[in-house]
Amino acid sequence: MSTDRDPKKDQVRLAKAREVLLKRQAELEEMLKILAAEETSDGQVQDLGDQALSSSMESLRQSLQNTEREEYNMILRALDAVKDGSYGICIDCELEISEKRLKYYPNAVRCLACQEAAENG
């Protein structure tokens, strides 16, 4: 970790990150509410084709809901990291995660090099 960091810049950076994370959290909460309330069947008798389509749609909805829930949990962990001051620090090498990476992936917990290493086993 760099020791020549500007605390005021860090506070501004963390405040911006928190704002982005809270916005995405609200979006995900709304999406999860919609997905939970969505019905895949209208209660009518279905032929085999309709049953297969309903089953596929339910499976797709479940998959999307799981993905959204996973991202939501990552956002909550990132918000905790903002609170405790560890936001933007790689969990593996403990170096700063680039601002560019955090801009496009605000809930990143690893720098790009460590993320690639983790994905490659």
pTM for this structure? Answer: 0.74
Residue range 25-37: mean pLDDT, rounded: 91
Please compute, for residue 117, the number of CA atoms within 13 A of its CA located in the half-sphere on the CB side: 9
Residue 94 and residue 70 share a domain: no
Spatial distance between the Cα atoms of 98 and 32, rounded to a whole number of angstroms:
30
Please compute, for residue 84, the number of CA atoms within 13 A of its CA located in the half-sphere on the CB side: 7
Do 25 and 69 meet the contact criterion of CB atoms below 8 Å apart? Answer: no
Residue 73 and residue 25 share a domain: yes
- pLDDT score at 55: 82
**Is residue 1 situated within a structural domain?**
no
Question: Domain range for residue 13?
Answer: 7-38+50-85
Residue 68 and residue 26 share a domain: yes
7 versus 101: the higher-pLDDT residue is: 101
Residue 18 and residue 71 share a domain: yes
Position 44 pLDDT exceeds 90: no
Q: What is the pLDDT of residues 74-95, one digit of tens each?
A: 999 999 999 998 999 999 999 9
Residue 17 and residue 75 share a domain: yes
Which residue type does 64 have? Answer: L
* Burial zone of 52 (CB within 10 Å; 0-12 exposed, 13-18 middle, 19+ buried): exposed
